[in-house]
Amino acid sequence: MDTSTKYKIISEIIKSNDEQVLNAVKSLLNIEDEVDFWEELSEADKAAIDEGLEQLDAGNYQSLESVRQEIKNRFNFVK
């Protein structure tokens, strides 16, 4: 199949609003719908992430360097 025919097919797909045609093309090409990871999270996980973001926005966080220092001190790591 030549390139111009491929472009015509692509153009028709883009212009189409026919769900049956689009679903048939999707099926022929083995294209699966992408699921947003957020939708797969449990409500508890979503709440924990939201809480963490609120804490971050409020300035309640520790720098990486302070966490590293705390671990060194707690477990007597010497570098």
Write down the pLDDT at residue 63: 93
pLDDT at residue 79, as a whole number: 60
- pLDDT for the residue numbered 35: 86
- Look at residue 64 and give its three-state secondary structure: helix
**DSSP letter, residue 25:** H
Full pLDDT tens readout for the chain, 79 residues: 899 999 999 999 999 999 999 999 999 999 988 889 999 999 999 999 999 999 999 999 999 999 999 999 999 887 6
Q: Are 79 and 72 in contact (CB under 8 A)?
A: yes
Question: What is the per-residue pLDDT for 33?
Answer: 84
Q: How far apart are CA 4 and CA 1, in angstroms?
A: 9
